[in-house]
Structure 1
Amino acid sequence: MASVTLRMMVVMADFTHILATRPDFDDDDRQWLHHLVADWQVIADLSFADLLLVLQTGDGRYVIAEQCRPSTVMTLRIEDVVGMEVRPDLVGEIHDAMESTGVVRSTVLHDVGRVTVCNVYAPVAHRGKVLGVVVRETNLSTRESNGRYESESINAGKQLFEMIARGQFPYDDPVQNQRHNARVSDGFILLTADGVVRYSSPNAISCFRRLGAVTTMQGQYLSEIGTQLLRAKAPVPEAFPLLLSGKAAVDSELDANRSVASMRSLPLYGETGRNGALILCRDVTELRRRDRELQTKDATISEIHHRVKNNLQAVSALLRLQARKTKSAEVKQELAEAQRRVQTIAMVHEGLSQTADEMVDYDKVISNLLKMSVDLATMRDQRIDIEYIGSFGMMPAQDATPLSLVLTELITNAVEHGFEGRKKGHIRISVGRGGNNLNVVVEDDGSGLDTEEDHGMARSSGSGLGTQIINTFVTNDFGGTVHWEPRHEGGTKVILDMKLRAAQDEDMGDGSDEG
């Protein structure tokens, strides 16, 4: 039973946990391995082979710490093997690779399922230390009939693979990952050490054709081809010269002829130094067009939010002016209440407009809003404190405004009626959240239920609108209930049980689907 449990624990381990079993690895060693697995996809794709990273655990076992499947050919391993121990028949070869200073080729063929594979091992060298072994598993059936494209790709993959053993890959300065970085299948170019195009894949040729290149690429300096495509007086990216010459591991974009190409350079090193470079390129014209459309839409939405905010402020100012003009105390009070509610909506709108997401962090929205409500309703010589317990969490934006109006009405009601004639007071809001079910308890240590409640609902400032707002949103919009009761320590407790409307929509959708 113990051996079975151990086996299951090993299988469930991930890359980070396996690294943690090696206390002799420092942060720099772990970072190097993370860079390797972050960038070794290009080797698997070029080589048309699966890659396995094997590390030795503290007790001497060899474990597969990470795997990489090629995207250019069918993988040998459909199942996830991370965390599994290496097969006994491979332990000897991996041990030899750990002791080697270069690539080690297996002297026998192995079987992975029903496929015959040839294994090649590269010790992962870093600062004079061997951290592990990368196993390249090649399906021999993919080597039966290779053309120029396959041969050039495989040779480039072998060079990068051999660079692992010399500590030259991954690069000391990791290539920055762009949002839509180029891949091997998108197109690649091989350069000589002088920057001359030695080979260009069909997809790479098509990519440069769309950029406006009309000359044959092979035998030409890539830097000259790229420079000719640039528009007059167009800004040149800082990394562009290094990329086109293949002298550094960088990435950049070329914008020409109403097309955009994302490119990435990977210098190729031999034992005596740099002997060429691999340039990956990808046509991202459509992706950039969509990005520009999204930016335009975001700018438009931002402008709409700004105008709505200004309009709400204008309405609030008009109500304030109207209140100053009227001589009726009752009308003046009602206009002040209307102005307060408009200000509430404006503040919630401003909070929601800060993000384009449909879900909002409601705790950030409601905190300042309720403090403002207390300040507006408090008399000059009063001091009312407000306290929060629990968290509202993330909720749909469509629920934020009505919920805010409900809470501000309750807070204002507590201050104006529960603390009428009092110098000090305390309000506590307790929140319980379970999925989309929301329970909110608003308590105050004011004068008691009789001063704040009227026929089971909030006592209004005059028109009964506050009562209608709370009742409408809680019962109709949220499908919830409002319960008033005396607070044991004195004061009033209001309990709100609600269900966020997004959840109700999902329930309705499920019902209709079943019907």
Structure 2
Amino acid sequence: MSTLADLLAEHTKLSDAAAGHLQRLVAEWQLLADLSFADLLMSVRTENGDIVTVAQCRPNTASTVFPSDEVGTVVAASGQGGGTDGRGGPQLERAFTADRVLRDEDPEWLGAVAIRREAVPVGFEGDGAVAVLTRAVDLTHPRLPSPLELAYQDSANDLCQMVADGTFPHQEGNPRGLSTPRAGDGFVRVDEHGMVVYASPNALSAFHRMGWTTELTHTRLSEVASSLLTDPFESDDVATMIDAAVGTSAPPAGPYRDVGMRMEADARRATVLIRAVPLRPRGRSSGAVVLIRDVTEVKRRDLALISKDATIREIHHRVKNNLQSVSALLRLQARRTTNPEARGALTEAVRRVASIALVHELLSGSVDEEVDLDEVVARLVPILVDVASGDATIQVRHRDRLGVLSAELAMPLVMVLTELIQNAIEHGFDATTVDNEIEIVADRDVRQMRIAVRDNGSGLPDGFEMANSDRLGLQIVQTLVSIELGGTLTMGPNPSGYGTEVGVVIPLR
């Protein structure tokens, strides 16, 4: 099955930032589906004007409305007004241009099921709707809602308005990789003053296991939670986190500085995972949802996984150390070699081994096998300039954000950048050039990454053809780009009119 990123790349030309916002929404929308007792569908407008469904979520708290998979379905064809197939096309058309949540007055029948649809425009950075979220609720068997259902639905309505405002979900810090409790694990609704309005039975059970012996309603949740924790620092952090989500205090510093936070804390007899989700429809606080999950048993099983993760990172660390030892030996051999050609070859080998060692060093500190290319370039460029430029003054500018890539893409791409920068330093300039400068330009979207390494030097030699070049560095680059990365490589004049530009285009999906 295609991922959301694949579908967005296939059907849209959304920016990387807008696509990231939709991916964060899909990562968090299970909470919205559970609180709404509703199926959720995400739809986007394609390049040719169609509206297509790219993601679907079913609730854990109610039966599904759509038993079939709706992902990939064209809801409304361009110029046809949305059709009459029961998928809500006309409502979606209106939602893309509306700045509010659209609610149907009357239910519609989908087979034997009566459903009510709500279309929520997904706002992003004030640019209008980049997608539309559909809530479909089963109304076939109406009944009087329970207090739990009323609390769920009230919170869900606030979250939907925040989706339309573009303020949910937040880019919250989660450096420890903590999971998200579900509404069914334990749900507490607090008002704008931090007082508990409703607590689900599972939430009460979790607090009772932590040591609380009475009801939670009409208590100040931050004070209750902090009184039960054994570590005084965790106690203060949890209280600050809840109050910050409600809006009664400033957000905490550090990894929990943004609203929408989570923590794992130890009470006297239990370990719990707590998450506070602020409710600020139209920018005004209406309280918060606090989710709590008893993870005492899960915590014990996680210790084994933590041990394995530490082993993988230790392997990367040892590989880095071994590569650095190899690099040091090659450097020592280069110094003792009198043949200039052999010394140059050994120096190039030192550089290549060092670039691979740098990637392994970053992976040794990563928990998800991903590499920040901007950090690699920032640490690699000074080494290359210092080693290769000699007496010449060369400035390397890294202008655009390269972003994060998986290890299997980052490793060959770092080698490519190393060779291109090195080649520009060694061969791009001559005695006539002044203000020597190399520029790394990048452009990234959901489909591909485009990188250009430009210099303002003497340009390519007359009659130069990349396919016929016998330079080892260029041969390495061509092999890595075409085989390892599945991309394309071009060489030509710098658009500024002086020097050379080498372009690399690689697919990200």
Q: TM-score, normalised by structure 1?
A: 0.54
CA contact under 8 A between 1:253 and 1:261: conserved in structure 2?
Answer: yes
Q: Distance in 2 between matches of 1:125 and 1:193?
A: 24
What corresponds to 2:392 in structure 1? none
User: What SS is found at the alignment partner of 1:54?
Assistant: strand
Q: 1:97 to 1:32 in 2, by over 3 A?
A: same
Q: Extract unaligned runs of 5+ from structure 1.
A: 1-11, 303-350, 356-360, 372-515
Among 35, 40, 44, which residue is 1:51 paired with?
40
1:157 aligns with 2:163: no
What corresponds to 2:101 in structure 1? 103
Aligned length: 321
Deviations 1:244-290 (Å, cap 9, x if unpaired)?
55342100022111201101111011335111100011000111133
Give the drift of 1:13: 5.5
Q: 1:177 to 1:158 in 2, by over 3 A?
A: farther
User: What SS is found at the alignment partner of 2:300?
Assistant: helix
1:91 aligns with 2:80: no
- Pairing 1:105-184 to 2, within 5 Å after superposition: 105-129=103-127, 130-141=129-140, 143-173=142-172, 178-184=177-183
Deviations 1:365-398 (Å, cap 9, x if unpaired)?
9xx9xx9xxxxxxxxxxxxxxxxxxxxxxxxxxx
CA contact under 8 A between 2:33 and 2:58: conserved in structure 1?
Answer: yes
Stretch of structure 1 that moved more, 192-201 or 155-164: 155-164
Among 56, 60, 63, which residue is 1:71 paired with?
60
The one-letter code sitting in structure 2 at the alignment partner of 1:66 is: A
Deviations 1:217-239 (Å, cap 9, x if unpaired)?
11111111012112365654746
What corresponds to 1:506 in structure 2? none
Q: Distance in 1 between matches of 2:307 and 2:164?
A: 48
Give the drift of 1:105: 0.9
Q: 1:94 to 1:214 in 2, by over 3 A?
A: same
User: What SS is found at the alignment partner of 1:184?
Assistant: coil
CA contact under 8 A between 2:165 and 2:281: conserved in structure 1?
Answer: no
What corresponds to 2:265 in structure 1? 254
Q: Distance in 2 between matches of 1:81 and 1:160?
A: 23
Give the drift of 1:73: 1.7
Give the drift of 1:180: 3.8
Q: TM-score, normalised by structure 2?
A: 0.54
Give the drift of 1:241: 1.4
Supply the RMSD in Å over aligned alpha carbons.
4.3
Give the drift of 1:190: 0.4
Give the drift of 1:30: 1.1
Give the drift of 1:69: 1.0
The one-letter code sitting in structure 1 at the alignment partner of 2:181 is: A
CA contact under 8 A between 1:261 and 1:285: conserved in structure 2?
Answer: yes
What corresponds to 2:49 in structure 1? 60
Q: Which protein is bigger by CA-based radius of gyration? A: 1
Q: Distance in 1 between matches of 2:301 and 2:239?
A: 24
1:197 aligns with 2:196: yes
Deviations 1:71-113 (Å, cap 9, x if unpaired)?
1222222322211111622221111111211100124423334
CA contact under 8 A between 1:243 and 1:252: conserved in structure 2?
Answer: no
User: How many percent of aligned residue pairs carry the same amino acid?
Assistant: 31
The one-letter code sitting in structure 2 at the alignment partner of 1:48 is: F
Deviations 1:190-238 (Å, cap 9, x if unpaired)?
0111111111011001000000112321111111101211236565474
The one-letter code sitting in structure 1 at the alignment partner of 2:207 is: F
User: What SS is found at the alignment partner of 2:273?
Assistant: strand
CA contact under 8 A between 1:14 and 1:83: conserved in structure 2?
Answer: no
Q: Distance in 2 between matches of 1:101 and 1:174?
A: 29
Deviations 1:109-152 (Å, cap 9, x if unpaired)?
23334211100011111122211110000011364232111111
User: What SS is found at the alignment partner of 1:209?
Assistant: helix
The one-letter code sitting in structure 2 at the alignment partner of 1:29 is: A
Q: 1:18 to 1:221 in 2, by over 3 A?
A: same
Give the drift of 1:168: 1.8
1:288 aligns with 2:299: yes
CA contact under 8 A between 2:211 and 2:269: conserved in structure 1?
Answer: no
- Pairing 1:314-325 to 2, within 5 Å after superposition: none
What corresponds to 1:5 in structure 2? none
What corresponds to 1:273 in structure 2? 284
Q: Distance in 1 between matches of 2:120 and 2:308?
A: 50
The one-letter code sitting in structure 1 at the alignment partner of 2:91 is: E
CA contact under 8 A between 1:21 and 1:58: conserved in structure 2?
Answer: no
Q: Distance in 1 between matches of 2:29 and 2:176?
A: 13
User: What SS is found at the alignment partner of 2:285?
Assistant: strand
CA contact under 8 A between 1:194 and 1:245: conserved in structure 2?
Answer: no
